[in-house]
């Protein structure tokens, strides 16, 4: 892969320790733009940890040590010189449990713009409409923008959280089990949304659900005990895995 345009994220010998616990071991990963990359693996293997490296959310945890290199669009992001605010503006994150703020629907979507200094009502109005339209909530909610976001259904809340990210026009969306608190129908609709979004955004999704990874992702990585065991084309991973451990996992011989 000589052409650096073909990867938006590249990690090299990435290691992460929680105190003495070695949570990521020599992870080498390349994520290509404008597609969905899945990360699967049993509970506790380090999927969330890896995802949180990309927007430096692990900085919030005491005692985390990281070594190696992580490049976002060819810029090293583990360096102290990186501006976290800009980085997190460009790399948005969707959490496992929808976490809209206890503010109105409008203010939730406008939040990102406001904190980055946008005050013009016109700009905000337009961004809110555009973002909610992108997550297919606009028609449902356009008359309820001043309602508290906590009144929405879980699926709507998760869509709102995605809209909240889109408003600041990120390049990369990190999704940590975005459907795990949703029912199957809502899950399906969020997956459709992801398929729509990948035309303009790069998405990395962590999921417990192998069918989901198989359905939505184009490339996929399997993690086990902190290692990225195998990474490649999703079809290949699910039909002809190269590593015995991947095979065991996707055929259900692991927990």
Partner 1 sequence: MKRPFEFIIEKLVLISGLASIIFVVLIFVFLLKEGLSLFGQENLWGFLFGQNWYPISDPPQFGILPLILGSFLVTLGAIIIAVPLGLASAIYVAEVAPSGIRDVLKTGIELLAAIPSIVLGFIGIVTLAPFLKNVFHLSSGLTALAGSIMLAFMAMPTIVSIIEDSIVSVPKSYKEGSLALGATRWQTIYRVILPAASSGILAAIMLGIGRVVGETMAVLMITGNAAVMPTSFLQPVRTLTATVAAEMGEAVAGSGHYYALFAIGIVLFVISFAINLLADWFLHRGKKKRKKR
74 binding partner (options Mg ion, partner 1, ligand ATP, none; Cβ < 5 to 8 Å by kind)? none
CB of 12 to partner 1, least distance (A): 24
Query: Contact with ligand ATP (CB under 6 A): which of 10, 11, 47, 54?
Result: 47
Q: How far is CA 177 from CA 41, 205, 206, 229, in A?
A: 12, 7, 5, 20
Q: What is the number of alpha carbons within 13 Å of residue 168 lying toward its C-beta?
A: 27
Of 67-75, 83-91, 133-141, 236-244, which part binds partner 1 (CB under 8 A)?
83-91
Q: Specify the residue, 103 or 225, whose C-beta has the smaller distance to ligand ATP.
A: 225
105 binding partner (options ligand ATP, Mg ion, partner 1, none; Cβ < 5 to 8 Å by kind)? none
Query: What long-range pairs does 188-197 form, CB within 8 A, spacing at least 24?
Result: 189/136, 189/155, 190/155, 190/158, 190/159, 191/215, 191/216, 193/135, 193/136, 193/159, 193/162, 194/36, 195/36, 196/134, 197/134, 197/162, 197/166, 197/173
Q: How far is CA 75 from CA 8, 14, 133, 192, in A?
A: 10, 15, 32, 31
220 binds ligand ATP (CB under 6 A): no
85 binding partner (options ligand ATP, Mg ion, partner 1, none; Cβ < 5 to 8 Å by kind)? partner 1
How would you class 228 by CB atoms within 10 Å of its CB: exposed for 0-12, middle for 13-18, buried for 19 or more?
buried
Query: Contact with partner 1 (CB under 8 A): which of 38, 41, 92, 221?
Result: 92
In what side-by-side order are the strands of the sheet with 202-206? 75-76, 64-72, 9-18, 21-31, 227-233, 219-224, 36-40, 202-206, 172-176, 91-94
136 binds partner 1 (CB under 8 A): no
CB 69 within 8 A of CB 14: yes
Query: Contact with ligand ATP (CB under 6 A): which of 38, 46, 100, 170?
Result: 46
Query: Contact with partner 1 (CB under 8 A): which of 70, 141, 168, 223?
Result: 168
CB of 52 to partner 1, least distance (A): 9
45 binds ligand ATP (CB under 6 A): yes
Residue with tokens 């998405």: 203
Of 41-49, 132-140, 146-154, 233-241, which part binds ligand ATP (CB under 6 A)?
41-49
178 binds partner 1 (CB under 8 A): no
Binding residues (CB under 8 A) for partner 1: these are 55, 57, 60, 84-89, 92-93, 95, 97, 99-103, 111-112, 114-116, 150-151, 161, 164-165, 168
Binding residues (CB under 6 A) for ligand ATP: these are 18, 21, 23, 41, 43-49, 61, 208
């Amino acid at each position: 892969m000589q052409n650096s345009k073909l990867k938006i994220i590249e990690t090299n010998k990435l290691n992460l320790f929680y105190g003495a616990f070695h949570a990521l071991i020599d992870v080498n990963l390349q994520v290509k733009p404008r597609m969905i990359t899945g990360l699967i693996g049993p509970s506790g293997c380090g999927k969330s940890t890896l995802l949180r490296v990309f927007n430096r959310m692990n900085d919030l945890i005491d005692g985390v040590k990281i070594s190696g290199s992580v490049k976002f669009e060819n810029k090293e992001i583990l360096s102290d010189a990186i501006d976290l605010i800009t980085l997190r503006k460009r790399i948005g994150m969707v959490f496992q449990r929808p976490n809209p703020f206890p503010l109105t629907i409008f203010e939730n979507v406008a939040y990102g713009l406001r904190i980055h200094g946008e005050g013009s009502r016109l700009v905000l109005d337009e961004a809110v409409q555009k973002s909610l339209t992108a997550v297919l909530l606009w028609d449902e909610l356009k008359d309820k923008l001043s309602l508290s976001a906590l009144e929405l259904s879980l699926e709507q809340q998760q869509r709102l959280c995605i809209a909240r990210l889109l408003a600041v026009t990120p390049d990369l969306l990190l999704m940590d089990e975005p459907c795990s608190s949703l029912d199957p129908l809502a899950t399906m609709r969020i997956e459709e949304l992801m398929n729509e979004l990948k035309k303009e955004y790069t998405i990395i999704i962590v999921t417990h659900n192998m069918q989901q990874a198989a359905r939505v992702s184009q490339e996929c990585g399997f993690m086990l005990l902190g290692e990225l065991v195998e990474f490649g084309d999703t079809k290949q991973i699910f039909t002809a895995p190269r590593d015995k451990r991947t095979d065991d996992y996707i055929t259900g011989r692991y927990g």
